[in-house]
């Protein structure tokens, strides 16, 4: 298939790896953060790390939409199903994220909640049309990639007068999270930013374009290379970052030219702006409260805002003490630094959100990389593993 097979060529990957080894300065180290769950998955699945020199390190960032969803937001969706008798619709990965009281959406469904997996916001709209006597809530999560379809569903619901449809909006924004990482407590504590550059997200950048990343390059002197999802995309982006660091440059480069433009998808941006506005603050798992990092539904569409319709009050819930997901999302720790990784916490029985989605750092490493490096350390019987 065009744009697939040619970007998975093993021989070309080896050549790019050899070029990275030749150009990486052995007297220094390079730390690059990939900010996209798809990149994290590709790096683990295709063994990209094995082609890199030891002084080039990839740091997993908070680019998995399911992983950054805080427990308190999932609790709201569960309460709507169990206490308010609403039909709650959401994406498949969200169903398995651990919540409070040893629950998740899929476990709440087993307790009798009408919780349904959907592939799109349009599916939730269809369910609302088919069940006019029931409240139907779409639990909307994700970055800029999944936001336009949610906006379209809300606008369509308003035009149709679909009074039983609403959205629990948990859409978050990539640029704000990158800024927060660059100004995180670890950075202030150690006095330096332990990231030399960013592999910019693919699908997000198709929507927002490459221009929003100019700020990071200029303000923080950190190069950004936007890359596609295939292994050669990622390898080429790493080579481009190494070259920028060697030159002392800090620019935004676009490796994913077959899909990303500087301005992005203007029609999608206009639709999102019509329906949503910035939240003053939003809690991210692992990052805490991040200013202006998420969206809420505008007053003009307030009738379709589940938080207003059901008078929901968000309450922050601390993560499981045994889980290192927060530190992994900040890039401070690796999956194998977690004591319960691969033992108590597995994709079949996730304790933390990073083990739920295939784009999560822990799930990707468990599936593709756990036998390559550090032996799994068994958790002791006294470890707290119940959320």
pLDDT, one tens digit per residue, over 58-104 is: 988 888 888 899 999 999 999 999 999 999 999 999 999 999 999 99
Q: What is the pLDDT of residue 185?
A: 66
The answer to whether 325 touches 319, Cβ cutoff 8 Å, is yes
Q: What is the pLDDT of residue 385?
A: 40
Q: Averaged over 370-384, what is the pLDDT? A: 40
Say whether pLDDT at 142 is over 90. yes
Token pair recorded at residue 255: 């490796």
**Number of neighbouring beta carbons within 10 Å of residue 96:** 19
Question: Residue 267 burial (CB < 10 Å; 0-12/13-18/19+)?
Answer: exposed
Q: What is the pLDDT of residue 380?
A: 34
CA quadruple 120, 145, 327, 48: dihedral positive or negative?
positive
Q: What is the pLDDT of residue 357?
A: 86
Say whether pLDDT at 382 is over 60. no
Mean pLDDT in the chain? 90
**How large is the C-alpha radius of gyration of the chain?**
21
Q: What is the pLDDT of residue 279?
A: 96
Residues constituting the chain: 387
Q: What is the pLDDT of residue 379?
A: 34
Residue 374 confidence class, pLDDT cut points 50, 70, 90 = very low
Among the residue ranges 60-64, 121-125, 193-197, the one predicted with the least confidence is: 193-197
Q: Averaged over 281-300, what is the pLDDT? A: 92
Burial readout 277-298 (b: 16 or more C-beta within 10 A, e: otherwise): eebeebbbbbbeebeebbbbbe
Nearest partner of 360 among 330, 325, 385, 332, judged by Cα: 325
Token pair recorded at residue 188: 């202030």
Backbone φ and ψ of 58, nearest 5°: -100, 130
Distance from C-alpha of 275 to C-alpha of 167, rounded to nearest angstrom = 12
Q: What is the pLDDT of residue 5?
A: 79
174: enclosing H helix or E strand: helix 174-182
**Strands of 165-171's sheet in order across:** 115-117, 87-90, 136-142, 165-171
Structure confidence by residue, pLDDT tens digits, 301-315:
999 999 999 999 999
For the chain, list the domains and their CATH numbers.
Answer: 1-386 (3.40.50.11740)
**Number of neighbouring beta carbons within 10 Å of residue 161:** 8
Q: Averaged over 109-114, what is the pLDDT? A: 97
Q: Averaged over 236-253, what is the pLDDT? A: 97
Q: What is the pLDDT of residue 370?
A: 53
Where residue 86 falls (left for φ over 0; alpha for ψ -120 to 50; beta otherwise) is beta
Q: What is the pLDDT of residue 2?
A: 65
Q: For a pLDDT cut of 90, what percent of the chain falls above it?
A: 72
| DSSP string computed for 142-186 | ESTTTHHHHHHHHHHHHHHT-TTEEEEEEEB-HHHHHHHHHTSHH
């Amino acid at each position: 298939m065009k744009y697939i097979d040619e970007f998975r060529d093993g021989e070309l990957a080896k050549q790019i790896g050899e070029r990275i080894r030749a150009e990486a300065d052995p007297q220094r180290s390079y730390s690059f953060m990939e900010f996209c769950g798809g990149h994290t998955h590709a790096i683990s699945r295709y063994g990209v790390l094995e082609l890199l020199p030891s002084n080039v390190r990839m740091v997993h960032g908070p680019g998995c939409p399911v992983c950054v969803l805080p427990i308190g937001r999932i609790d709201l969706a569960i309460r709507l199903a169990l206490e308010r008798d609403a039909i709650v619709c959401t994406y498949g990965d969200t169903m398995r994220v651990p919540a409070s009281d040893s629950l998740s959406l899929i476990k709440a469904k087993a307790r009798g909640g009408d919780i349904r997996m959907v592939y799109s916001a349009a599916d939730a709209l269809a369910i609302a049309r088919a069940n006019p006597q029931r409240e139907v809530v779409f639990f909307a999560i994700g970055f800029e990639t999944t936001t336009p379809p949610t906006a379209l569903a809300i606008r369509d619901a308003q035009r149709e007068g679909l009074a039983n449809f609403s959205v629990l909006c948990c859409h978050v924004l990539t640029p704000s999270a990158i800024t927060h990482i660059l100004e995180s407590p670890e950075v202030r504590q150690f006095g330096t930013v332990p990231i030399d550059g960013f592999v910019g997200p693919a699908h997000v950048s198709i929507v927002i374009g490459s221009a929003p990343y100019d700020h990071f390059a200029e303000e923080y002197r950190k190069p950004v290379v936007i890359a596609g999802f295939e292994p050669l995309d990622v390898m080429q982006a790493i080579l481009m970052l190494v070259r920028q660091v060697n030159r002392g440059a800090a620019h935004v480069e676009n490796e994913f030219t077959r899909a990303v433009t500087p301005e992005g998808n203007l029609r999608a941006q206009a639709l999102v702006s019509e329906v949503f506005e910035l939240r003053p603050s939003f809690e991210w798992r692992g990052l805490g409260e991040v200013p202006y990092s998420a969206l809420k539904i505008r007053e003009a569409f307030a009738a379709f805002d589940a938080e207003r319709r059901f008078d929901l009050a968000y309450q922050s819930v601390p993560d499981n003490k045994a889980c290192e997901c927060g530190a992994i999302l900040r890039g401070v720790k690796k999956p194998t630094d977690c004591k319960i990784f691969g033992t108590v916490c597995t994709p079949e029985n996730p304790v933390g959100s990073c083990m739920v989605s295939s784009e999560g750092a822990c799930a990707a490493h468990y599936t593709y990389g756990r036998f390559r490096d550090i032996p799994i350390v068994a958790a002791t019987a006294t470890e707290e593993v119940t959320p």
